[in-house]
Structure 1
Amino acid sequence: MKDEPSHMMKFIEKVTKEKKEEAKEEEGFEKNYRKEISSKKNKQKAKQAKSIERKTRKKKSPEHLSVEEKNKKMKDRTPVIRARSSKKQIRL
């Protein structure tokens, strides 16, 4: 004969698992729906921010250095010797 308490426990566990799965499916549906709405709002906010940025942005021309200025900067850079793990490496 079957034990009635153990049989009932198995049945109760089965029912609770089914309820949990149904609840997860419903939550997933609600979450997906909410994400779509929030993403639309975020897109609108991003578009507005970009349009404001474009209006307020100042156009800057890139600064090109002459060959002499570049050479001066490169001469200022000196190699530094650092001891690392029993090896001496030269780093610029």
Structure 2
Amino acid sequence: MAMVVTEPCFGCKYTDCVAVCPVDCFYEGASMLFIHPDECVDCGACIPECPPQAIFYHDDVPEKWHTYIELNREMSLTCPNITEQKTPLCDE
């Protein structure tokens, strides 16, 4: 089971979660972040750091966002790895 970034991240792209990730499993798309499911160690450190509450444990992803499970896998294979906090696309 891995963490999954879902729709609330779209257009925000806060990177507070990246700063606390012990394994650097976040990847940066143009409009949101993604988590590589095979690199994530399921520590959950990123969940409370996400201002829009967009990160869920795989088994806890709301039904309406289940497509984000596969999207995280696909996009983490093509997007660049992000390991440092950056300015978000939006303000809280």
Structure in which a larger fraction of residues adopt helix: 1
Higher relative contact order (Cα pairs below 8 Å, separated by 6+ residues): 2
- Structure 2 length as normaliser, TM-score? 0.14
- Structure 1 length as normaliser, TM-score? 0.14
